[in-house]
Amino acid sequence: MWLVIALTRATLLTGEEKYVQTAKVNYDLTFARAWDEKYFDGGLFWRVDNQAKNSCVNCPATIAACLLGQALGDESYFDKAKQIMAWQNKILTNPAEGKVYDCVNLEGKYNYWSSTYNQGTYIGANCLLHAHTGEEEYKQNAARAAAYTMGEMYQGGIMNNEEWGNDLPGFKGIMARWIRLYALAYDQPEYLEWLRKNADSADANKNSKGLMQTKLGEPTEEIDYDVFTCSAAVSICVNAI
């Protein structure tokens, strides 16, 4: 889905059709393979072993479908986006609270943990759906998820977690892009102010090489970090503008 998003954005930025055509092929193949209605009446499986359905694919797939619909002028992709989001809200989200769950496995066991990644992509997906459809539900979904992220997960303070485990340290950078989109689209400057607070903290805690790790409230150690870990703080600095 991130490949689809990147390629489709390339076409939207350059006008060159070759990018979105590759994106379309990848999206269509993925949707045909991963969409399943046997378990929980829909949703995309995360991996090809088909053991769980996760927000980390269903929310980006909604974003990707919206962008494809825009780039191709094809309403069927917006229909897919609405289909996925309806399932996401039914199974993996508490829309009234704005809390996005992580996943559900085939036995019906839920992981109710909320990550900045899933909160952010859910916000972005609903912003794009609202922009296209004008349906108030999507705007309210984004509003509640943004409020939950800033207020409930961090109490408006410094994001000082998600420091361990594979790709987890980069999650906040994904969220920053989409919460910025929400803030600008709906004139909600408090979210940009929150990002600035975190960007200032990250900058104050950089190490002698200028690196900023993902626990934004603690000094960055004088060690080597992987690129994705450092990307979170950089993304927050860029999206705070």
66: domain CATH number is 1.50.10.20
Q: Are residues 124 and 225 in the same domain?
A: no
Q: Are residues 122 and 35 in the same domain?
A: yes
Q: Are residues 87 and 206 in the same domain?
A: no
**Which residue among 101, 132, 153 closes a domain?**
153
The Cα–Cα gap between 68 and 55 comes to 19
The Cα–Cα gap between 108 and 83 comes to 21
Q: Are residues 166 and 148 in the same domain?
A: no
Predicted pLDDT at 164: 84
Average pLDDT over residues 209-225: 94
Q: Are residues 149 and 167 in the same domain?
A: no
* pLDDT tens per residue, range 45-77: 999 999 999 999 999 999 999 999 999 999 999
**Which residue among 115, 137, 153 closes a domain?**
153
Instruction: Report the run of H or E that residue 41 belongs to, with start and end.
Output: none
Average pLDDT over residues 127-153: 98
- Fill in the amino acid letter for 155: Q
- Fill in the amino acid letter for 141: N
Total of domains in the chain: 2
Helix, strand or coil, per DSSP, at residue 104: strand
The pair of structure tokens assigned to 151 is 């207020």
pLDDT higher than threshold 90 for residue 224: no
The Cα–Cα gap between 214 and 150 comes to 16
Q: Which domain holds residue 128?
A: 1-153
Q: Are residues 94 and 199 in the same domain?
A: no
Average pLDDT over residues 24-30: 98
The Cα–Cα gap between 180 and 193 comes to 10
Give the number of C-alpha atoms closer than 13 A to the C-alpha of residue 71, restricted to the C-beta side.
27
Q: Are residues 104 and 206 in the same domain?
A: no
Q: How far, in Å, are 44, 226, 227, 233 from residue 83 at the CA level?
A: 11, 36, 35, 33
